[in-house]
Amino acid sequence: MTKIKIGQVGLGRLGKVHASNIVKHVNNAELYAVASVVEQELEYASETLGVQHCYTSYSDMLDNDALDAVVIASPSGFHAVQITQALEKGLHVFSEKPIGLELENIRQVVDKIHDHPHKVFQLGFMRRFDESYLYAKDAVDRGELGKITAMRCYGIDPSSGLDRFIQFAKNSASGGLFLDMSIHDIDLVRWFTGSEFKTVYSLGNNIAAPELTACDELETGACLSELEDGTIAYFLAGRNAQHGYHVETEIIGTEGMIRIGNAPEKNLVTLYDKNGVVRPTSDHFPERFRFAFINEMNTFVSTIKNKDQSSVTAMDGLKSTEVAIAMQNSIETKKVITL
């Protein structure tokens, strides 16, 4: 069977995870080319992953006619233009979230994606491919919780990455805490409830990292929201979890409730020693979502092969971004925002 030839742009924190997964865990694809502006990253791709076609320019990579698809793992500000360029070259596209940083721009990209219905577009909402979330979704869809009344979503990065984020924030824009982090939780709420957001009200502070105020960033943010079907959703996003990478979701229904990741356990080990009873925790997203990243890439490739429709669409990206931007607006205006 011919393999799908993928060209990937971006080989940073997440790009390396995708690239290595394509090489090691996606049987029906080949990492045919990569593009990055960092020379050492291209050396890594060539020497460690055996990639033959390495480019310092994304446009030059797209000129390689052998490509079938691209994987975009560059900084968020580049996604919109890189998705557009790839579609214009007739390629299938997997893009990391978000599609873009500004709504008008995202809407134009969504139109462009819809103009290419025979090209697969999949957005990187990998939690939908995590086995715990899939298990919970199945239970919810079978009606085990009855009707959903409320959801609670925590996404808190480990403290070990806070200094690096502060350095990053001094020179670059993340898009804001909600667009950068809560977007996964927003997508989960839409996915589990099948409903859209109606109103949001957010608060934020920098008690744990006062330096972020000068960068116009937040360390902690929270939002209370109402969905069109009446579900209440509460979000907390932060960058200072002392115990590791904390992603937790609670779904409360009329007949029961589910918690996913209420402690961010690394594995099944429990350590009993002079400190008491200790459960080791996940340190970062590549560890917690290791299999989700592999599953989402296999799904992208099999969707292309089977000429299917993507299950994580451009519209999912647009809707989630609209909500994240409304959450940010609420911080700035100190008002309830209606979507």
Interaction site with ligand NAI (CB under 6 A): 9-15, 35-38, 41, 58, 73-76, 78, 96-97, 124, 126, 285
CB of 282 to ligand NAI, least distance (A): 13
Q: Which residue is nearest to ligand NAI (CB)?
A: 12
As a whole number of Å, the end-to-end CA separation of the chain is 47
Backbone angles phi, psi at 227, to 5 degrees: -95, 165
* Contact indicator for 232, 225 with CB cutoff of 8 Å: yes
CB of 29 to ligand NAI, least distance (A): 18
Six token digits for residue 61 = 């990579």
CB of 339 to ligand NAI, least distance (A): 22
CB of 273 to ligand NAI, least distance (A): 33
317 contacts: CB under 8 Å, gap ≥ 6 = 97, 98, 99, 106, 110, 123
CB of 17 to ligand NAI, least distance (A): 8
- CA dist 280 and 165 (Å) reads 24
Residue with smaller CB distance to ligand NAI, 83 or 126? 126
* Contact indicator for 75, 283 with CB cutoff of 8 Å: no
CB of 58 to ligand NAI, least distance (A): 5
Strands (E), the chain: 4-9, 29-35, 53-55, 69-72, 92-95, 121-123, 148-158, 197-205, 220-227, 232-241, 246-253, 257-260, 271-273, 276-278, 337-338
Residue with smaller CB distance to ligand NAI, 133 or 285? 285
Looking only at the bridges linking them, the beta strands covering 148-158 and 121-123 are unpaired
